[in-house]
Chain A
Amino acid sequence: MNKPVLFEKMKSAVIEGNKHEAEFLAQNAVENKMELNEVIEKGYIPGIQKAGDLWESGEYFLPELISSAECMTSAMKILQPELEKAGLSTKSLGKVVIGTIEGDIHDIGKNLVASMLAANGFEITDLGANVKLEKFISKSQEINADFICLSSLLTTTMVGQKKLITMLKDKKLFGHIKVMVGGAPVNSQWARDIGADGYAENAMTAVSAAKKLI
């Protein structure tokens, strides 16, 4: 099978949310010693981009988008270790530290954001739920993160988003590490008021918001 046909199949597997096919094609690419960065860039990334376009045009809903993200992540789990073995790396759009603020134990929304960002080429360090603000900062410094993504489902914990920005300013890290906020009670006005660099209403807009900040 020639490369353009194969790339088209990879793209279709991601768009259609066919995880088995996406994994099978990735495994085949490894076994056939294909140039894996090319496989990712010409096969899989166009698939997840198209899924995003379909969501933006209203043709895809959240479940279809998540299926596509799952395919992308599954394929990357096969391709990435092989690239590393060869001493190569995938193109990363940026390092993201993500978590739900201390006091808040809800994490499904944060998980969706992390999944969509990962599928779209960001390197994710997920700190989980109920995370101390200091931990966001220390982890970001440790891995030299580009972004901190803060999720908050409660009005009582969303104030932590503001506090984290103050802490970053105090440590002269604000600006070097961009802050994106989201969560049910959060809106763009709040994000502006606290000086956040970005705001995302949902998992898909998190991807476009993060890309804008690169």
Chain B
Amino acid sequence: MTNSKGRFGIHGGQYIPETLMNAVNELEEAYEFYKKDEAFNKELSELFNEYAGRPSRLYYAEKMTKDLGGAKIYLKREDLNHTGAHKINNVLGQALLAKKMGKTRLIAETGAGQHGVATATAAALMGMECVVFMGEEDTKRQALNVYRMRLLGAEVIPVTSGTATLKDAVSEAMREWTTRIDDTHYCLGSVMGPHPFPTIVRDFQAVISKEIKEQILEKEGRLPDAVIACVGGGSNAIGTFYNFIEDKEVALIGCEAAGRGIDTFETAATVNTGSVGIFHGMKSYFCQDKYGQIAPVYSISAGLDYPGVGPEHANLHDMGRAQYVPVTDDEAVDAFEYLAKTEGIIPAIESAHAVAYAKKLAPTMDKDKIIVITISGRGDKDCAAIARYRGENIYE
């Protein structure tokens, strides 16, 4: 690939319409400039610390550790960030970058609504216009987040095409961007899409592993044996992994949404069930049929309900550096309830996928081992849906 940019092994690239090429090139140039710009970084640090509440805590989950009887468990509390999820890290970075580029309007896709809320928040803070595309199915599953976005001044456009979920919201946001580029930045919410998005989003989320490293060295004087995070597109996972990639002794574990199981069609476990393809601007793993038609995927979690995965994850998988494990709806819901009862922390149903795998892994490890689980978001948004899953007829 002589001209191709943004490759992670064979994955990544820029498979987008010509109409968008100058827009992504302009974004890449701006990012290359501002990432080294002292004033930009100072402003972003201030936003992270003063506005979003960073650094997020690394909390020793003592009760959970004792209950599981194996490895020592720490929780990286991204749920305590302003807006309740890791999404704000990326959004503050991109919104500030967009503003420096002279853009006055942000568009975004959202699944569970966390990225949409974060984008609407940053737009409100920075005085920018904001339009969020959300699958119609998800606007029903996450009605409260739709209200939050509108409250923050954003316009929410329900997407009815395709399966009316996250994948279709991404497609629609891309279509909108080709229509209006001059004043508009597409604030992509995960480590996916065409270059430079997977790199930009990763860099802004890498603060998670940077802090974990500092915090665990301070608390334990050594690196963890495993870091665990849920993976949809993969932004909180790459944030959790990034500063440990070179530390080969740290296992990197991504938890995919298996939905009703990886042996069923109702799954969103891309690495476990997918194959290499080209979609949404990138080469990576996708759930698809043999003719390359993208599969309708399913997960209880709107945020993990995506048929692809970021290209850097695809490459970490190919290299064997990270491991991607499937976690079912049932296991995630059990873990959602478990963490609430054991630690008094209600995780997002997305993050509960990581908790579920840690519950299986920790007891198999010695007590002197250390696991860090990233709690990517808080679970308030999911309470009504989980109640319904358990047969209680609660609506928000």
- Asked if chains A and B come from one complex, the reply is no
